[in-house]
Structure 1
C-alpha cells in the first residue's frame, strides 16, 4: 500500500468515526428527551444509531460520558463567549449571575431547549462526580472568578457556594414548566446573596 492509499484509508476511517459519533449523540439525544435518561440503555442507543453494540463504549467509554459529551456540545456554546469575556475587575457578583441565568431564560422558552434543561438538571444533580471536560462545566473556573469577586473568600468556600448555587439554579430551571419572570428575579437575587456574602474573617466553629 502506497502513501496515497494510506492517506485515503485514514481519511475514510476518520470520517466514519466522526459520523458514528455524531449518530450516537443524535440517537441518545432523541431517546433521552423522549424516555428520560434512566430508561434508555446503551444497547438502545446503538440500535437507534444503527451502530455496533459496542460503539458507545468505543467512542465515549460509558453512557454517562456520552451524556456529558451531548450536554456540553449542545449547551456549552450558549455560555462560552460571554463567560470568556467576563472580567472580574469590571463586574460584580450580580453581573456574573445574570450572565449565567440569561441563557437558561432563553432556552426554557423553546420546548426542545426546556427538555435539554431537564436532562441537564436531572443528570447533573444525580451525577455530582460526572467527568465534565468543558471548563465552564467544572467548578474550578467558577471558583476562581468568585474568589476574585469576593475579597478574602477561599477557593474551597467558593466551590461550596457554587455547588449550592448551581443545585438551586438547575432545580429551578429543570422543572416541567418555565420559570416566570418574578421567579427568575427571585432566584437570581437569592443566588447573588449567597455567592456574594462577605467572607468570614474570624475563627469559625464547627457544629
Structure 2
C-alpha cells in the first residue's frame, strides 16, 4: 500500500479566473450550509429560545434602522470606490466572478442566503457568547480575500460591529439580516450592471 507523503502536498493561491462558475456556486452554497449548521448547533448548545431568536421586530423602526445602516455602508463604499485606488480594494476578483454575469434574481438569492446564514452564526450565536467586538474580529478574519488590505479589513470589521450593535439596539436578528441583505444585494447589482455599461462602451 502506497503511503501518503505530506511533503508532496502543495497549497497554491487560486486565481478566480481559473474557477468554473459551477464550482464557485457549489463552494459558496456549501460554505453557507456549513455556516448555517454550525450556527444552529451553537445556538442549540447555548439553550437560547428559538422563538426569541427568530421573532420578527415588533416595531417598524427596526426595519428603518436596518435600511439607514445599509444606506450608510453603501454611501461609504461609494466614497471609497470614488477616491481610493482599485488595488487597495481588490478582493482578487471574487466578487466580480460571483456577480458579474449573474441574473438579478440570483443576486437576490445569494444575498439572502448569505445574510441569513452568516447573521445566524455571527450575531445569533457567536455574539451571544463573546459580544460584538470579538465577533467582528472573527467576522473580519474569515473574509480572507480582504486581509491583504487594511482598509477593507477595517471596513469589514466596522460593518460587522455595526450589525452587532443593530442587533443589540433592535433586539431582533432580522434587523442585521435585512441590513446585510441590502448591502450585498445593492453591491452585487452595482457589480453586475457596471459590467454591462463597460461592455457596452467597447
> Smaller-chain TM-score range?
0.3 to 0.5
TM-score normalised to the size of structure 1?
0.34
TM-score normalised to the size of structure 2?
0.34
Report which structure shows greater RCO (CA 8 Å, sep ≥6).
Answer: 2
Larger Rg: 1
User: Larger % of helix: which?
Assistant: 2
